[in-house]
Amino acid sequence: MTAATAVPPATRTGAVATLAVSLALIGANALAYGFTVLAARTLTPASYGELAALLGVLLVAVVPANGLQTAGALAMAGSRAGVGPRELHSAGLVTAAAVAALAALAAPLVGVLLHLPDPRTALWLAVLLVPHLVVGAHLGILQGTERFARLAAVTVAFTGAKTAGAVIGLLVAGTPAGALAGMTAGALAGALVGWLGCGAPRPGPGWRPPAVAGLSAAAALLGFVLLSGLDVLLARHWLSAGAAGEYAVGAIIVKVVFWLPQGVGVVLLPRLADPADRRRALLAALGVVGGLGAVLTLGTAAVGARALPLIGGAAYGSGIGGAAWVFAALGTLLALAQLLLYSGIAAADRVPGGAVWLAVGAETAAVAGLAAAGWLSPTTVAVAAAAVVAALVVTGLLRHARGTRRPGAGR
């Protein structure tokens, strides 16, 4: 029997699905990165700063879409009574309307906080949230029913349409508002593709349970989004401009190591809906992500002091030197923490979500303590962030090993 035939079909299917989703997510991030490079070269520094700030707000504002996708996928995979494509599609429409309305009300405040020349530009974010929330529901349908090839296709189509619209708006108008207007038009077209891709479900009753579950998941995921980028914000606040710039280049390593295994989490999530399969599936996913992260961390350590100059040029690396591997370790730990958070959401366990918010506070306090002690540097900020996330991972693993969850979880 050959090695190929010795691999169980389910394992091969899971590997192919993971690869397809991973490539789709990498492609989506590559498109987003390409647009930011084009925008930086097209707009003036002041205008690019305005657009970058608005896109940073959007990154946080779309967390409810991620929560809806996560909760919807779990409900679909677990065959939860009363939750199907029609209900999840309706939840997406209702949540989109509610979140967009709140964003529109907050637009004047966003304009003031970001010092926007025209506060009305922030209104584009409110409109842009609608297709993001709707497609979040559609991706949840595809993920929950394990149609991963179609999920990958919808992901690429949505991001591609959104990016194409943004590029057209940027080149035609030459302003942040033009870029956001084009992005909105492209995202609406991409959401239409997502609706068709998941079977064009019609709205139906019963939207409230998946909508409420989506917002609950979003609360935990919002904490993780903040945690995953907190080190860069703290470095910017506490370090000198040059040291903060060097840290930002090191943070690219964190993002690469964190994003490479994202397909594992997407494929894992539906299996977490089954309490009987949750423990085995999570351990396997942790092993794959941890193993990949260990290889990347060792590889970064082998490159040593040349790692940052390879990414950002000769101007970077003097303050971090051979400690670039710490950034790879931080990316690995964040990927493991995300898997454990998904497991907690699947088990209706609120402790992991609360622990993430505690980690945000702990990391903030740790870096402030380093600054007060005079021990602050790009390396010590990365070490502090890695230590806090490592404690979060260890706590999650201990809870997993003990099988601790609140009464009624996982039923």
Rounded average pLDDT over 216-237: 89
Percent of residues, the chain, with pLDDT higher than 90? 47
388-405 pLDDT per residue, tens: 999 999 999 988 877 644
Dist CA 262 CA 20 (whole Å): 11
Query: Does 305 have pLDDT greater than 50?
Result: yes
Residue range 17-39, pLDDT digits in tens:
777 787 888 888 888 878 887 88
Lowest mean pLDDT among 73-87, 111-125, 212-226: 73-87
Residues 6 or more apart from 314 whose CB is under 8 A from it? none
- Name the phi and psi angles at 236, rounded to 5: -65, -35
Q: 367: which 2 tokens?
A: 């870096």
Using a 10 angstrom Cβ sphere, with 0-12 exposed, 13-18 middle and 19 or more buried, the burial of residue 5 is: exposed
Is the Cβ–Cβ distance between 206 and 92 less than 8 Å?
no
Instruction: Tokens for 374, please give them.
Output: 């005079």
Provide the pLDDT for residue 4: 40
Cα distance between residue 170 and residue 181, in whole Å:
9
The predicted pLDDT at position 379 comes to 94
Q: Residue 214 contacts by C-beta under 8 Å, 6 or more apart in sequence? A: 64, 67, 68, 69, 70, 71, 72, 91, 95, 136
- Flag the least confident range among 3-7, 173-177, 219-223: 3-7
Q: Which DSSP symbol is given to 201?
A: P
Provide the 3-class DSSP secondary structure of residue 317: coil
Expressed in angstroms, the distance from the first to the final Cα of the chain is 41
Widest Cα–Cα separation across the chain: 69
pLDDT-wise least confident of 48-57, 116-125, 331-340, 398-407: 398-407
Lowest mean pLDDT among 329-338, 355-364, 393-402: 393-402
Answer whether 164's CB lies under 8 Å from 107's CB. Answer: no
Residue 9 reports pLDDT greater than 70: no
% of the chain at pLDDT higher than 70:
93
Mean pLDDT of the chain: 87
* Length of the chain counted residue by residue: 411
**The pTM of the whole model exceeds 0.75:** yes
Residues 6 or more apart whose CB falls under 8 angstroms from that of 194 comprise: 134, 135, 138, 139, 154, 157, 158
pLDDT in tens, 74-101: 888 876 656 788 899 999 999 999 999 9
**Token representation of residue 61:** 């504002």
Q: At what angle do helices 241-259 and 378-402 cross, to 10 degrees?
A: 30
In the predicted model, is pLDDT for residue 409 greater than 60?
Answer: no
| Cα 34–chain centre separation | 18
- 161-207, pLDDT tens digit by residue? 999 999 999 999 999 999 999 999 999 999 999 999 999 998 888 88
Nearest to 269 by CA among 92, 78, 404, 406: 78
The larger pLDDT score, comparing residue 357 to residue 320, is at 357
Residue 324 near residue 256, CB atoms below 8 Å: no
C-alpha to C-alpha distance for 392 and 352, rounded to whole angstroms: 9
Question: What Rg value do the Cα atoms of the chain yield, rounded?
Answer: 21
Helix or strand (DSSP H, E) at 3? helix 3-6
The predicted pLDDT at position 14 comes to 62
